[in-house]
Amino acid sequence: MRSGFIKALMDLAEGDERIFLLVGDVGYSLVEPFIEKFPGRFVNIGIAEQNMAGISTGLALSGKTVFIYSLANFPTLRCVEQIRNDICYHEANVKIVTSGAGLVYGALGPTHHVIEDMAVMRALPNMTVIAPCDPMEAALATRAAARLDGPCYLRLAKTGDPVVHNATPDFQIGKAITVRDGTDLTLVVCGGIILNAIKAAEQLERQGIHTRVLSMHTVKPLDTSAVLAAARNTGTVMSIEEHSIVGGLGSAVAETLAESAITNVAFKRMGINNCFCSEVGSQEYLRHRHSLSVEDIVAQAVQLLESRLKEYELA
């Protein structure tokens, strides 16, 4: 996803002199092409993310479109106060871009696990939250974020993420993308975990369960129409995210369903329970430990469908 981001950003900077890139002493082997081509619009702030938020706000209020980039938690959780009071309160045209979302840096321990960021960013007024599912979406999201006038959080996974779309999708902020359609169950997904969801949907298909997969790349504002259509059309909805089940995509979907008039929908959140990931290991290992593997998704889907069927039989 990082490569999709930087390529799109360079294309944008070529035609727009207002675009600046600030980094927190990271991104080596990624940002050098930008530095070489636009040296006057690049600043390495150093490991001082709170300062980076303030400087980016000053630039934005001077008419610039500012992208700030760093790893995982550091430009988000480390400087929430500055994001709230500087960027969001002033509706500054600042785009916060992170890599290493979720459990990408699993071997580095809880300090580098990014599992609360969407919840925090969702709670901030004026903030748009985007978690693209693949490199194609990452590039499209970068372009969409640049067009957006105001704060935006762009949550990326890593380098080497697989492309899941067969063709360039119609990417619009706040509009879900249907990756595959189905009538029995809907998986609402954000971020790189979508590959596990697609593989799970393929396994479920072989069991006769026709599964819809939605790339809900925009967590705020959520595509409530897509969620409600899924609830009406399939009756069973699961949210899947590499993030805490508290405050992220699952919470957004649950809020939408709870406030709707739909009463006969079965819903389950899949994500990381309200805990720290105390184990260390690869991303795949930690996904398995926190029940986010393909097999876990299939098992939870079957269980949810069976529970719904039993409720109908009892009724």
The string of pLDDT tens digits covering residues 47-103 is 999 999 999 999 999 999 999 999 989 999 999 999 999 999 999 999 999 999 999
In this structure, the number of other CB atoms found within 10 A of the CB of residue 46 comes to: 11
What are the structural domain ranges in the chain?
2-155, 177-314
The per-residue DSSP string of 177-214 comes to EEEE--SSEEEEE-STTHHHHHHHHHHHHHTT--EEEE
Lookup: tokens for 185:
């169950």
Lookup: tokens for 166:
């067969």
For residues 52 and 22, the answer to whether their CB atoms sit within 8 Å is yes
**Burial class of residue 280 (count of CB atoms within 10 Å of its CB; 0-12, 13-18, 19+):** middle
**Burial class of residue 202 (count of CB atoms within 10 Å of its CB; 0-12, 13-18, 19+):** middle
How far is CA 232 from each of CA 106, 116, 264, 272, rounded to the nearest angstrom?
A: 37, 30, 9, 27
For 11, the 3-state DSSP assignment is helix
For 242, the 3-state DSSP assignment is strand
For residues 48 and 74, the answer to whether their CB atoms sit within 8 Å is no
- Read off the pLDDT of residues 147-202 as tens digits, 9 standing for 90 and up: 999 999 999 988 778 899 999 999 999 999 999 999 999 999 999 999 999 999 99
Distance (Å, whole) CA 170 – CA 248: 24
- One-letter identity of residue 144: A
CA dihedral 297, 302, 308, 310 (to 10 degrees): -150
Which residue has tokens 């393929």? 202
For residues 126 and 97, the answer to whether their CB atoms sit within 8 Å is no
Among 144-153, 247-256, 273-282, the least confident range: 273-282
pLDDT for the residue 29? 84
- 2-155 and 177-314 share one CATH topology? yes
Indicate the length of the chain as a whole number.
315
Nearest to 141 by CA among 152, 126, 149: 152
pLDDT for the residue 308? 87
Distance (Å, whole) CA 55 – CA 61: 10
- Percent of the chain's residues with pLDDT above 70: 98
Give the class (CATH, top level) of 2-155. alpha beta
- Percent of the chain's residues with pLDDT above 90: 90
pLDDT for the residue 315? 56
Measured at the CA of 274, the angle between CA 277 and CA 158, to 5 degrees, comes to 50
Lookup: tokens for 246:
């508290």
For residues 234 and 186, the answer to whether their CB atoms sit within 8 Å is yes
Q: Which CATH architecture has domain 177-314?
A: 3-Layer(aba) Sandwich (3.40)
Which residue has tokens 């169950």? 185
